[in-house]
Amino acid sequence: MQPAHHTLTVSLPPAVTDTALAAALTTAAELWWPGDRRRPRLWTESVPAPAASDAAARRRAAEARRPLAPGHRLRAVLLRYADEGHRADVVLTADASALDARSLRLVARVLRGDLAPAAVTPLAGPLPLDLRLDGETRRLASAFALAVGRYEGASAVRVAVPVPARDRPPYALGALDGHAVFTADLSPGRTVAELLATEPAAPAEGDDPPLLELMASDGPAVLPTGPGALPVPSHQVERIRQQLLTSPPNTCLSRLNPLSEAESAEQLVLGAGPKDPKALRIDEAFAAQVASRPDAPALTAGPTTLSYAELDRRAEVLADGLCAHGVRPGDLVGLCLPRSTDLVAAMLAVLKADAVHVPLDPEHPADRRERTARDAGVRLTVTDPAALTGHPPRPTAPRRKPGSPAYVIHTSGSTGRPKGVLVPHLNVTALVDAVRDDFGLSPDDTWTCFHSAAFDFSVWEIWGALLTGGRLVVVDHWTTRSPEDFHALLVRERVSVLSQTPSAFTQLAAADRGAQDAVGVRLVVLGGEPLDARPLLDWFDLHPEDRCRLVNMYGITETTVHVTATTVTRRQALAGSRSVGRPLPGWSVRVLDAHGRPVPPGAPGEIVVGGAGVALGYLNRPGLTAERFVPDPLDPAGRRLYRSGDLGRLLPDGTLEHLGRVDDQVKVRGFRIELGEIRHVLLEDPAVSAAAVTVTGGGGGDAAAVRIDAYVVPAPGAGEDPGPVRERAARLLPAHMVPATVTVLPALPLTANGKLDPAGLPPPGARRAPVTAPAPAPAAAAHGTAPGAVLASIWRDVLGVEAVGPDDDFWDLGGNSLYAIRIGTLARERGLPEVPLRQLYLTPTLGALSEALSLET
């Protein structure tokens, strides 16, 4: 429990000479430890600086940190300074297993001449400990634990507290005193009285000693001193100690604040962006590009390329059609269109008509799209742009201001109802303006639109290209599912700016390693989910940092795609950095506690975003808007803050680290998911009386292995076949939210408090760990194995199932888009014919896929 050694620095009277001090030490050592050949001697050193100087303080601290030589119980070093005749110090260092802190103070008294050596009696220890704590020590231990708990986000903190030996003689010498373990319970709801009532315990045999410790003194215990002695600032521990002394006993611990008002103000300034962007509408900013570059290529989809002028004219025609169909300023218009030039033109047309577009992904189930359109209250849904052509020009009218809504994107909602996020024009133009110079965005760039229009990453891709004069290449559905095809598109179209989720980029990087032609990408923007930087090392080998810049961006739909940015370097990748960088110009980030106060630098808390990107709120959800979009007391313009629900820490240099979620919201392959929405959909099924949803897998950073599992209790009279339950969920949820498994239980396991006990849920099925990366294997023909059997083996390896039959469905076995890509890669490596990703989607059973590929079974 005790430290390996401890030290005491003793100031000597000016009259004490080196000779007298050495003699006193020798006399005492011969008396206390007769026959010991390793008795301590006095070492003398000169410090070429005044005693009060910083250099002298550093020398004393260095001596205090220096360990003892093995087998020695005590070291004494006399330090004499340049201002001779004034102060001299003796730094005493003792082996904690031989001399405790009280013994070290006795040695100091003897050397100062205040106590005769014969008055001190060595004793063998240890003696029984007195575990009773005085009030001051108890408050200090509580304050120390609470301060450290705030920085570490810990709900329990252990502190080693010095306690005296019981019935110790006043001048006994040895390792007689000891340490007790003070375990502070800092769980939510705990009060000052409960913390101060904590009783220390004797250290358990074999238990690791606490990393935190208080030091013994002549009175109550004290904090350790010296450079690096404390993991938190000592003045913040003292501030909490004072609050423990003065706060009512029933005060919640969460209300105790380690920061002063000045420190809180510094933390708020630390996360502020330096720029307030100019307010523009999206269509106004696009019109400026049309005016300056009318004939430049703007949009490519397949073989079709439109210039800026052609795209503008196409959008004008569609805007006229929208007005002819009754769309008025402020109306919401659903866009359910495949990836094409028409999709982008229709987005622009809605904005030109001064309306608000609501993307409805045609790949989502029809029931899901209908629910979303109903929730938004759209005026009409565009599914065929041809219906909007051939109408007379709309009358000229002034458009609403840049602060008016531009689009609504729906995110997962815990009540089963997706939340529509209402984002104004000026947020998007501010985002592009914030990074234009830093990222070097110019008309020379070619971008890809890889992501669904219903995923806000597409907002960045589309307008990042078109508002900076670049060319946007729309990637079709099947190409997004094939890393090899996508890589070929990047080469063919000479793409220079690429945006990807880390999950998708991992697959693309693997295809890049095996490709003959190199991509010419100069900027890769990663976002949408947490980044594990270590797998990027292979990318850096082929694409050095001076040729291709990798930027990791953290953001939220409610704060307009991106909030912070950091350039990822090889050094950061080697270190596995969790940094998401500093806020963009015009944005701000704060890390606050449960009471809305800044937490100490480096301590975890909720990430709260302010500034230019904060959305208008949730569509038709005033209660939820008021809960998550809160007033910013520091913004003279009256803008609001968004409480993200993400955990993070703001470091002293102003960079942000992302630590996960406060609630049960999760990210699955870049998509933000509320497990409560999935559970709500399951409970709407008349055949289900109770349900639970969990997320498993993903260890080692393998995003493909993340799996949603559902557990249901049948309603009275309902059958126990989970198939219909999952089929109904698949009609209402997008593919990334459909549970991989549905397990039927007679009842859900509950805790003593009647809550779900996740630990009591059985495994969802007999699965072994899926392979995390394709492993080379000999060609099937070399072993004489039927190709159909090889394909079945690949399914077993990738999906982690024990057996697979011809009627087993890839998706029902837990398949997802990343696993589909992995199966195609393994098939090639094991000598099978090409497995087109489209074919796996069209023939998802093993038998049908084998037949389509003409494989012998």
pLDDT in tens, 56-76: 988 998 898 888 988 899 999
Predicted pLDDT of residue 771:
46
pLDDT for position 483: 87
Q: What CATH number matches the domain at 684-760, 2.70.98.60, 3.30.390.10, 3.30.300.30, 3.90.1300.10?
A: 3.30.300.30
Position 828 pLDDT exceeds 80: no
| Packing angle of the helix pair 341-352, 308-324 (nearest 10 deg) | 60
Superfamily of domain 5-122: Chloramphenicol acetyltransferase-like domain (3.30.559.10)
Angle subtended by helix axes 282-292 and 425-439, to nearest 10: 50
Q: Where are the domains of the chain?
A: 5-122, 135-258, 684-760, 780-852
**How much is the pLDDT for 705?**
62
pLDDT value, residue 694: 84
pLDDT at 756 over 70: no
The pLDDT value given to residue 183: 93
Judge whether residue 441 has pLDDT over 90: yes
Kind and range of the H or E element at 624?
Answer: helix 622-628
| pLDDT recorded at residue 820 | 75
- The tokens describing 791, both together, are 């394909």
Check residue 775 and give its pLDDT: 44
Q: Per-residue pLDDT for 416 more than 70? A: no
pTM for this structure?
0.72
What pLDDT sits at residue 845?
Answer: 84
Question: pLDDT, tens digit, for every residue of 278-302?
Answer: 789 999 999 999 999 999 999 999 9
68: helix, coil or strand?
A: coil
- Confidence check: pLDDT of 677 > 80: no
pLDDT tens digit string along 510-554? 889 888 898 999 999 999 877 878 778 889 999 999 999 999 999
Rounded to an integer, the average pLDDT of 635-657 is: 88
Q: Which of 606, 768, 772, 762 has its CA nearest to residue 694?
A: 762
CB 445 within 8 A of CB 524: no
Beta-sheet pairing, 356-359 with 332-335: parallel
Look at residue 691 and tell me whether its pLDDT is greater than 60: yes
DSSP state of 336: -
Q: What is the mean pLDDT of residues 171-198?
A: 91
Q: Which residue has the higher pLDDT, 637 or 694?
A: 694
Confidence class for position 701, pLDDT limits 50, 70, 90? low
Q: Whole-angstrom Cα distance, residue 287 to residue 285?
A: 5
pLDDT in tens, 123-144: 876 788 888 899 999 999 999 9
Q: From 780, 770, 779, 708, select the one nearest 743 (Cα to Cα).
A: 708
pLDDT of residue 770: 46
C-alpha distance from residue 240 to each of 155, 235, 620, 728, 791 (Å): 17, 9, 43, 54, 63
Report the pLDDT value the prediction gives residue 668, as an integer from 0 to 100.
65
CA dist 288 and 487 (Å) reads: 32
pLDDT band of 666, cuts 50, 70, 90: low
Q: What is the chain's percent helix, strand, coil content, to nearest 5?
A: 35, 25, 40
Residues 346 and 317: their CA atoms lie apart, in Å, by: 10
Structure tokens that stand for 348 in this block: 């622009």
Q: Which helix (H) or strand (E) holds 817?
A: helix 817-829
CATH number for region 780-852: 1.10.1200.10
Q: Token pair 């999760």 is at which residue?
A: 666
Which pLDDT band, with edges at 50, 70 and 90, does 753 fall under? very low
Q: What is the pLDDT of residue 783?
A: 45
**Structural contact between residues 478 and 503, judged by C-beta atoms closer than 8 angstroms:** no
Strand pairing class (42-47; 5-12): unpaired
CATH topology of 5-122 equal to that of 684-760? no
